[in-house]
Structure 1
Amino acid sequence: MTSRDPAFVADATVELDQVSKWFGQKVAVSDVSCSFGPGLTGLLGPNGAGKTTMLRLLTGLLSPSKGRLSVLGQDPRTSPAVFGQVGLVPEEDATYGFLSGREFVAYSAKLSGKANPKLEADRALDEVGLRDDADRDIAGYSKGMKQRIKV
């Protein structure tokens, strides 16, 4: 690993060092070493390539079989600081279709201990481009809209 290696960034928020994960004989992730900086990062690959396993490792839902990883300089399995700063939007629906987008986001903000859930909901809906659809039931949202409402 050198400073010129494109797999590594200087201001890393996520670092993986020879991370592997296997389930019995099945290798899901094999010797991954890289880092990601602040902002949005995409993880692309065909079905079965280990993308979901990698995300579960990075969010602390799984432990690596080998290697080490850190998020914000911390172990994502044990650090409350990581839990408050990193989110995962799973492919599966985790919403209540009978709620409007605004109700769902405000409810989530309230559960997170936000002082003004309605204000936070409006800010979040603006951020993900759903302000105009905020009062519609989530059940009527497209798949992409449902993904954005979970952010």
Structure 2
Amino acid sequence: MISKTVARFGVRALALVGVALSVPACATMTRGTTQQFTVESTPPGAHVTTSNGFECVSTPCTFRMSRKDGFNVTVSKDGYVSQTVEVTSSMSGAGGAALAGNVLVGGLIGGAVDATSGALNDLKPNPLTVTLRTPAEEAAAARTPAPVAPAPAGTR
């Protein structure tokens, strides 16, 4: 009698493990590990390169990028000063909700898969909008003093 109970328990436990392993990583399945990333520039038609090996010959352009890691984007155009901007990867609101659902339904394994795959993250800023300046505009901006904040009231 005990051996049938143990065997029945073992089959059920194995079935539960199978179900638990089939539902983890909800964000990986629903959000994916990549996302659309757009670069826009003023003026349009700038060249874009990324530190992770992507390139576009003319803005605006869109890439399919991994959510997992941040990277740098360099935007350049003849006659303008190039700009390099850091794009970060951080947990998004939707990623946090997916993680909570994963912990409730899929357990720690699903949460770990989502966290390591980058599925919980979003790239920021997205879209990346860059305003390029001519060398003369850049020099003028460098000469313009920063605005001075007024002294707090009552500090004379």
TM over 0.5: no
Which has a greater percent of helix? 2
Larger Rg, first or second structure (1 or 2): 2
Which has a greater percent of strand? 2
Give TM-score, length-normalised by structure 1: 0.20
